[in-house]
Amino acid sequence: MGAVNTDAVNTGAAVTNGRVTNDRVPKQDRSRATRQRLLEAAVACLAEHGWAGSTVAVVAERAGVSRGAAQHHFPTREDLFTAAVEYVAEERSTALRALFPQGETGDRRAVVSALVDLYTGPLFRAALHLWVAASNEDQLRPQVTELEARVGRETHRIAVDLLGADESRPGVRETVQGLLDMARGLGLANLLTDDRGRRERVIAQWAALLDEALD
């Protein structure tokens, strides 16, 4: 009997005709793809159906996977939707950075508009549904609270960078935070009605205020 290839044993590779073939990579790729589909489906379900209508079974069906496969990746509903909102948060930051890949821009109105878009799109809508659920779910609340605090800090930092704001100056930090609070409020208003016209006027006014406060 030939010697056992311990490297193959330790890595999960198979030995065929003396050659080591690794079948773990495609399996890992499939696993990542399944996880991604589940997260995207969870976000879409939250945005469309809210927390009550977004069960693991509904998400799994939308993702095109079995419920067992969904629970393999996310053992509990809370695990699934907390991961989904973390995914949403990462997508929000990535989307904002992608709009201004060079960082600070002199067009503050464009920055304000991008921030407002962040809070009026489907990603924020999905996050909002999870906030509502977390307010009534003891198991979910600590996870979502911690995650949103981190997201808030990251969004604030991105806004400061893009606006070229000097937070060592009195009132500047509060001005930037006020902008984010305003954007969040517009996102909430957008859940009920499409107030795009009024929103554009608010964006223009905030951009003017920022030019005055930050220069």
What is residue 160's predicted lDDT score, i.e. its pLDDT? 92
Tokens of 185: 């409020």
Whether 87 and 43 have beta carbons less than 8 Å apart is answered as yes
pTM over 0.85: no
Task: Return the pLDDT at 124.
Answer: 83
Q: Are 81 and 54 in contact (CB under 8 A)?
A: yes
pLDDT score of 7: 38
* pLDDT for residue 24: 55
Cα-based angle 37, 51, 95 (whole degrees, multiple of 5): 50
Q: Scanning the structure block, which residue is given the tokens 């209508």?
A: 53
Q: What is the pLDDT of residue 120?
A: 85
Question: pLDDT value at position 21?
Answer: 45
Nearest to 85 by CA among 49, 35, 54, 42: 42
Residue 204's alpha-carbon distances to 40, 70, 191, 208, in angstroms, are 33, 45, 21, 6
Label residue 171 left, alpha or beta by phi (over 0 means left) and psi (-120 to 50 means alpha): left
Q: What is the DSSP secondary-structure string of 98-165?
A: HH-TTS--S-HHHHHHHHHHHHHSHHHHHHHHHHHHHTT-TTTHHHHHHHHHHHHHHHHHHHHHHHT-
Ordered mean pLDDT values, 10 residues apiece, the chain (215 residues)? 39 43 64 92 85 90 93 90 82 77 79 88 81 80 84 89 92 94 89 82 93 89
Write the DSSP symbol of residue 53: T
Rounded distance, CA 17 to CA 151, Å?
Answer: 52
Closest to 79 in 3D by CA, of 3, 153, 147, 179: 147
Inter-residue contact 115 to 159 (CB < 8 Å): yes
The answer to whether 201 and 207 have CB atoms below 8 angstroms apart is: no
Number of neighbouring beta carbons within 10 Å of residue 72: 13
Please state, in angstroms and rounded to a whole number, the distance separating the CA atoms of residues 127 and 119: 10
